Amino acid sequence: MALTAGVKVDRRGPPAGGSYGYQVLAGEQIWRGGIVALNSAGTLQRVQTSGSVVIVGIATQDYSNVGNASASPDYVVVERGRWQFQVPSATPSNIGASVYATDDNTTTLSSGSGANLLMGTLDGIDKGLYYVRVSGT
Looking at the structure, do residues 75 and 90 belong to the same domain, yes or no? no
Could you list the residue range(s) of the whole structural domain that residue 90 is in?
82-134
Under 8 Å between Cβ of 37 and 48: no
Model pLDDT for residues 100-119, shown as the tens digit of each residue: 999 999 999 999 998 999 99
Q: Is 69 left (phi over 0), alpha (psi -120 to 50) or beta?
A: alpha
Model pLDDT for residues 30-50, shown as the tens digit of each residue: 999 999 999 999 999 999 988
- 71 assigned to some structural domain: yes
- 123 assigned to some structural domain: yes
Looking at the structure, do residues 67 and 101 belong to the same domain, yes or no? no
Looking at the structure, do residues 94 and 107 belong to the same domain, yes or no? yes
Looking at the structure, do residues 108 and 122 belong to the same domain, yes or no? yes
Model pLDDT for residues 40-90, shown as the tens digit of each residue: 999 999 999 888 899 999 999 999 999 999 999 999 999 999 999 999 999
